[in-house]
Structure 1
Amino acid sequence: MIDVLVVGAGPTGLTLACELAVRGLRSRIVDRAEAFFGGSRADGIQPRTMEVFADIGTLDPILASGDLGMVIRAYQGDEVVWEGQMSEPTEPTPSVPYPNIWFVPQFRTEAILRERLAELGGRVELSTELTGFTQDTDGVTATLTTNGTVETVRARYLVGADGGRSTVRKQLGIPFPGTTDETTTMLFADARVDGISHDHGRIWQVGDGGVSVAPLAGTELFVVAARPPADDEPIRDHLQRQITESSGRTDILVREVTWHTTWRANTRLAERFRDGRVFLAGDAGHVHPPTGGQGMNTGIQDGYNLGWKIAATLAGAPDVLLDSYEPERLAAARTALDISTALLEKHQRGDEDAHIRGPEVHGLTLHYRGGPLSLDDRTEPGTVRAGDRAPDAPATMDGRPVRLFDLFRGPHWTLLVFGTPPQEPLDPALRVYTVVRPGEPAGDNTVVDSDGHIRAGYDADDGTLMLIRPDGYIGLVTGSSDRVAEYWTELHGITEIVALS
């Protein structure tokens, strides 16, 4: 029996598979596609996702494969009538090391995740389709078909990361309410285009229509967006005609279309993300408009949230820990849908700022306050509370520079103790760091808050203890080491953790 069967090898499934592999779990990841995805599709990686990639060890190739996005110019003929960017690049801060959206084609993001999975001993099984499954109290029995060969697989858990048409969701009978607006459509294509440079993106607006041509980060391609053809006109011919008619230029030539898709305004949210030992993640549970770049990023966060919880449960934590996945990620998906829908409505109204993206899309303010794993027992909570994202901060340790994210990286929990360390011994699986000011006594595992950025970022007084989850969110804020021990014990199988909420 394997630990987890992951169905679907897009960014969501690959992130989950990496998380499981880091923790030494036996898993398989399958996809019914015959070849790996080759299109740009979701190319905007949000700041919070950049933090996830840093944690799982894929940040460097992600940075090497993309950019901050190009300046976009809107033209009427040869005249520039507007110029700007979706979001103005900003400098990193002590608490936010990756403050900007980073643009990488989805096919490259997936390839990087597959490479990381291979380093961890895993691989994607293509041409392998889930054709059915049943579950009982001990696991899931799944039927896989690979090139006509039928195989029965037994797994502790099954995760459906198999997209908006999810086989897993359909077999579970989970409703997927929402709306599909067939009148709001857009053709997106990756193409080789001659006659224009890669130094900026272009929009030619003509009445209610028009076309945009933007460089695709890290490639020689462009992403062309236009209304889809009304008939069977070949895609390359259609795009060529749209560009020529909208721009008034005959020197711009569409040489080749390497990938294309027609997007429809489709907004849906599954009624639940868990059924026994089976989970939904990514588009299998929520489908978003492309506005705001929320879909892929929310799915990656799903996989990141679920991986450590499955691992902890298999290591003996109470099963109710997995029950926290649904309320946390269902609320996150609902928030992301609200953001992307509001931005889509701006485009539909023709608002002047419809192309602008603010910090609401970055994922840094997402929190799990009030959730089943979040407990803040301070009489007067600070600005950073249990359930919030744990900020980064520079510091020194043993005389060398270090960042909090360096200390958090990996599958463990982390306890930050502001001031005097606990006298009681804690579980060795919990990494404990004492945060002190410059000049204060420094012992083992002491972090010197050299410039005060840790205390400022966490809004924490002396005597505060903060327990950081493996996915970088604050689980517990307290002033009592006994409460830390109690929370930790409850989390690892003595009492149901929902008692903490």
Structure 2
Amino acid sequence: MNQWTYREEPSDVLIVGAGPTGLVLACDLARRGVRALVVERAPELFPGSRGKGVQPRTLEVFDDLGVVGEVLRWGGPAPVGMTWQDGARAGEYRMFEDIGPTEDAPYTGPWLLPQWRTQRILLDRLRELGGDVVFGAELTGLTQNTEFVTATLIPAGGGSPVAVRAGYAVAADGGRSTVRRLLGVKMTGERVDPAPLLVADVVIPTLDRDNWHIFPPAPGGTGFASLCPLPHTREFQFIARSAASGAEVTAEGVRALVAESTHIPAGEVTEVLWASDFTVNAALADRFRDGRVFLAGDAAHIHSPAGGQGLNTSVQDAYNLGWKLAAVLRDGAPEALLDTYEEERLPNAAAMLGLSTRIHRGEEQRGAATRQLGLGQRGSSLSREIRTGLAEGALTAGDRAPDGRREGLRLFDLYRGPHFTLLAVDTPLPERLPELPGLRTVRTGAYEAYGRGLYLVRPDGYIAWAGPGGDGPEASADDLRAWVSRVLLG
């Protein structure tokens, strides 16, 4: 692909960064017919396993994007933990709650998949949808006005700067985001751990792959290490506290740290495929939108790796933003719809940031919250509930729309795609429907996970509007049409 293919014609959206965030957003926009230019400073996809835990809610996103089959094929469940003491096995234990699939929540987790594999799967999907990534393109400048964004890119290896124009831009360029720096958006946070962490992908043929091997610190010590077998590879992900910070990470240094923090001699580490060290911080951008530019993923929030929340929260940033950009660019939705990205995602990111920090410090255990199925948008301006007298715990507007099978239909199959869905549960569909582009309607019998009523399901799988069912649903349908016209159509 010619790396400057898009320079003659403005794109709808410029995405800076081809990590999981940028690739999910690009896939979502491509299937909606939105022209996105994805640029990545590196010459190729990220090579390491760093964000390896895919939570159930993210698996639902991948289902909708058409990649869950490959994710399940190349991933695997978390193995049973094995604690070691003084070179001897001290006992097995479950690293995570053993939660099985249910009708309304078909995916369990975390599902382990090296980050490099996740990105390859997403890039393949993007190319199937007609998109691609421009590698070796470094962003050095960014300006905007009320109509468009102009970015300055420099080709890898030198060359003349190239200016590209887009209707909007999205910073998906990581924790050290160039876009965020150019915008002057600050991050507020704290250092979670005084010691830096080293993470590496290593090959150790003498170590069994049946367990996630945990090496607690010696009495009075601060060291900690783990070796997690990565599914369908020869590799382990090695994580350990490291005394050195800022120095170049070398293969010999990784081997020495393995020997120091485990019983495994350095010589048994036959390969070091990738390694990096980092300071464990928790930080949140002061805002997620600056005019026509949006921050997503690590550019907006930086997590401790504990609890596996970083990549998953990032994916869901992109999933939230994609349909809203398309609605404004393609369907005539009001520009104000884009304000709801920050309204919804900033508090969710803050909640997940706090969770991962507490888990890192041992103040909270991994549990239901880490699966992210309970996250919702009840307080959003895009959520309207007109039913009254609901039982405690009832599904309501702003909640995730559950899966289920009724009368030969799977709800997630019906929701999949770029459309809104109007679901009538144990009630007739209204005769007059809201004029949402591509609206899909479904009527099904009684289903306890929902309860009787009408539900407008957003393209990202959350319930936007909910109203009572009955023999004559036209009264609530009038409210639905008025709300859609005001909020989603403008």
Written as runs of structure 1 = structure 2, the 5 A alignment for 1:313-392 is 313-314=328-329, 315-346=331-362, 357-382=366-391, 383-392=394-403
| Residue in 1 that maps onto 2:279 | 264
- Does 2:325 match 1:305? no
- By how many angstroms is 1:248 displaced? 4.3
Aligned counterpart, 1:188 = 199
Corresponding residue for residue 296 of structure 1: 311
Residue of 449, 464, 473 corresponding to 1:475: 464
Q: Secondary structure at the match of 1:184?
A: coil
- For structure 1, which segment, 85-94 or 159-168, has the greater mean C-alpha deviation from structure 2 after superposition? 85-94
Task: Give aligned pairs, total.
Answer: 463
**Is the Cα contact below 8 Å between 1:211 and 1:242 reproduced in 2?**
no
- Of 428, 431, 440 in structure 2, the residue corresponding to residue 420 of structure 1 is 428
After TM superposition, give the deviation of residue 37 of structure 1 in Å: 0.9
Q: Could you tell me how far apart the structure 1 residues matched to 2:429 and 2:146 are? A: 42
1:49 is the counterpart of 2:53: no
Change (3 A) 1:324 1:246: closer
Residues 64-101 of structure 1, C-alpha deviations (whole Å, 9 max, x = no match): 11100111111123533231132133321110010221
Query: Which whole-Å CA distance do the structure 1 matches of 2:152 and 2:194 have between them?
Result: 38
Q: Which SS does the other structure have where 1:5 is aligned?
A: strand
Q: Which residue of the partner structure matches residue 442 of structure 1? A: none
Relative distance call for 1:117 and 1:202 in structure 2 (3 A) is same
Provide the C-alpha distance between the structure 2 equivalents of 1:66 and 1:245, rounded to a whole number of angstroms: 30
Q: Is the contact made by 1:68 and 1:89 (CA closer than 8 Å) also made in structure 2?
A: no
Instruction: Check whether the contact 2:256–2:266 (CA below 8 A) recurs between aligned residues.
Output: no
Distance 2:433 2:16 in 1: 42
Call closer, same or farther: CA 1:31–1:157 in 2, change over 3 Å. Answer: same
Distance 1:229 1:491 in 2: 53
Counterparts of 2:98 and 2:198 in 1: how far apart (Å)?
A: 28
Q: Find out whether 1:408 has 2:423 as its counterpart.
A: no
Q: Cα 1:210–1:167, aligned 2, differ >3 Å: closer, same or farther?
A: closer
Could you tell which deviates more after superposition, 76-85 or 330-339? 76-85
Q: 1:86 aligns with which of 95, 103, 111?
A: 95
> In the TM superposition, what whole-angstrom CA distance separates every residue of 1:154-199 from its partner, at most 9, and x where no partner exists?
1110101111111111111111111235723221110111311211
Runs of 5+ consecutive residues of structure 2 not aligned to the other structure: 1-9, 469-475
Structure 1 residues 249 and 30, CA, compared in 2 at 3 Å: closer, same or farther?
closer
What secondary structure, in the 3-state scheme, does the structure 2 residue paired with 1:465 have? strand
Distance of aligned partners of 1:316 and 1:79 in 2 relative to their CA distance in 1, 3 Å threshold: same
- Contact 2:421-2:456 within 8 A present in 1 as well: yes
Q: Secondary structure at the match of 1:183?
A: coil
Partner of 1:485: 481
Give 1:165-180 correspondences, 5 Å limit. 165-180=176-191
Aligned counterparts of 2:398 and 2:226: Cα–Cα separation in 1: 40
- Residues 95-117 of structure 1: CA deviation (Å, up to 9, x unaligned): 00102210000000000000000
The alpha-carbon deviation at position 247 of structure 1 amounts to 4.5
Residues 5, 27 of structure 1: 8 Å contact kept: yes
Secondary structure of the residue that 2:280 maps to in structure 1? Answer: strand
In the TM superposition, what are the counterparts of 1:216-255 in structure 2 within 5 Å? 216-230=230-244, 235-248=250-263, 250=265, 253-255=268-270
- Which residues of 2 match residues 192-211 of structure 1 at below 5 A? 192-205=203-216, 206-207=218-219, 208=221, 209-211=223-225
Is the partner of 1:20 in helix, strand or coil? helix
Aligned mates of 1:406, 1:74 — CA distance in 2: 42
- Rounded Cα–Cα distance in structure 2 between residues aligned with 1:323 and 1:88: 37
CA shift for structure 1 position 226: 2.1
| CA shift in 2, pair 1:172/1:202, >3 Å | same
Match of 1:497 in 2: none
Which of 289, 293, 296 is the equivalent residue of 1:281?
296
1:167–1:484 distance in 2 versus 1, CA, 3 Å: same
Taking structure 2 as the reference length, the TM-score comes to 0.90
Q: How many Å separate the matches in 2 of 1:133 and 1:230?
A: 35
Shift of 1:229: 4.8
**Shift of residue 249 of structure 1?**
5.3
**In the alignment, is the contact (CA less than 8 A) between 2:201 and 2:274 conserved in 1?**
yes
- Matching residue of 1:456: 448
User: Does the C-alpha gap of structure 1 residues 58 and 238 become closer, same or farther in structure 2, counting only changes over 3 Å?
Assistant: same
Deviation of 1:414 after TM superposition, in Å, equals 0.4
| Contact 2:337 2:488 (C-alpha < 8 Å) held by counterparts | no
Q: TM-score, normalised by structure 1?
A: 0.88
Secondary structure at the aligned position of 1:456 is classed as: coil
Which residue identity lines up with residue 459 of structure 2 in the other structure?
Answer: P
Amino acid at match of 1:374: S
Instruction: Determine helix, strand or coil for the equivalent of 2:432.
Output: coil
Residues 92 and 199 of structure 1: CA distance in aligned 2, closer, same or farther (over 3 Å): same
Among candidates 133, 139, 156, match of residue 130 of structure 1: 139
SS in 1 for 2:75: coil
Give how far 1:421 is off.
2.0
Superposed CA RMSD in Å reads 1.9
Q: Give distance in 1, aligned partners of 2:232 and 2:308.
A: 18
Distance 1:244 1:311 in 2: 52
Measured after TM superposition, the shift of residue 239 of structure 1 is 3.8
CA shift for structure 1 position 150: 1.6
**Is the 1:291–1:344 Cα contact (8 Å) retained in structure 2?**
yes
The question of whether the paired residues in 1 share the 8 Å contact of 2:174 and 2:297 is answered with yes
Shift of 1:210: 4.2
Give the conservation status (yes or no) of the 8 Å contact 1:229–1:238: no
Mapped partners of 1:183, 1:244: distance in 2: 22
3-state SS of paired residue (2:161): strand
> d(CA) in 1 for partners of 2:266 and 2:225?
16
CA contact (8 A) 1:68 1:102 kept: yes
Select 1:212's aligned residue among 226, 248, 255.
226
CA distance in 2, matches of 1:485, 1:106: 42
Quick one: percent identity of the two aligned structures? Answer: 45
